[in-house]
Amino acid sequence: MMKKIGVLVSFAVLVCMYCARSSAQTRPVITSFHGNGELIWTNSPSTNAFAIQWASSMNGEWHEDWSRLRTIVSTSAQNTAYVPMFYRVVQGFANFTLEGPWIISILSETNHHYIVFDGTGVCTEWGAFNTYGPPGMYTCSSTGDVVLVLFEKDNPDGLSLTGRFSTGDEIVFEPPMDDILLTRVNDPALCQGSWTGTLYETSGPLYPVSFDVTKTGWIENFTGFPSRVRGRMFGSASGNLSCFFRTGADPEMDPYNQVQITGTISNDIVNATYTVDDSEGTGGAAIFYRQ
């Protein structure tokens, strides 16, 4: 693993700054740390990842999250906690760089699926038919190289993709998977709100639906299909949309037990196509309006 290079600052005072021009070209350099909490640094222009680490002392253990301060359980009348006093900027990608929801797109088919990474190397969700739980795993090297393996029940050996960060929010993959693009969902709440609309099955019935989407993309209060509907809906900054949900329908009797929706979101309108869980390719058009 590439050694992470850090620059230390105290809570209110900059304690170390690299002055040599050659150093500024190879490592992040903290240039200011204002009293309002604004930390500024410079680095060589390229696609890279950074993390702000904190410690309670110069020689203390460095942390990248607040987990040790988030939950403190004690029966004592007096307690001690080690709080942030020093900060440093570390450069380099890692598994946690991918944490959160992304949209994986097949560009030639305009087909979008959402996928959620836990930050430790596990894909916790994949908006696709008949996946395993968890549906995949991944690794991200310090230089931004990504290996992603996804598992479906008809392909238990997994679909393997190798790629790299092309920008901070996009990952491109090597041939023969170069038609696939992974895009970060920067705003999981983009689809938040109350929606109504219709699934128009090709040469078939219409399915009026309504549902709510939470700020983390979860679908709630769904009407139009059997109860216990569970899934998510995400949109990207470019307007791509991915929605997938499971219903309470009997999978042996009703292909609408799983529904995948892919399309675009613009303001308060979703225009998409959908498919369901069968081998016939049943599906059609979907239009939703945010109330």
pLDDT digits (tens, 9 = 90+) for 8-18: 444 333 333 33
Smallest Cα–Cα separation from 86: which of 108, 125, 44, 58? 58
Instruction: Kindly report the pTM of this predicted structure.
Output: 0.80
- Residues of the chain scoring pLDDT < 70: 1-26, 35
Q: pLDDT above 70 covers what percent of the chain?
A: 91
* Residue 41, Cβ density class (10 Å: 0-12 exposed, 13-18 middle, ≥19 buried): buried
CATH 2.60.120 fits 97-183, yes or no: no
Show Cβ contacts of residue 47 under 8 Å, excluding neighbours closer than 6 positions.
144, 165, 166, 167, 168
pLDDT value, residue 169: 94
What is the pLDDT at residue 26?
A: 62
**Which pLDDT does position 85 carry in this prediction?**
86
What are the domain boundaries of the chain? 8-92, 97-183, 193-290
Do the first three CATH levels of 97-183 and 193-290 match, i.e. the same topology?
yes
Chain mean pLDDT for the chain: 87
Q: Class assignment of domain 193-290? A: mainly beta
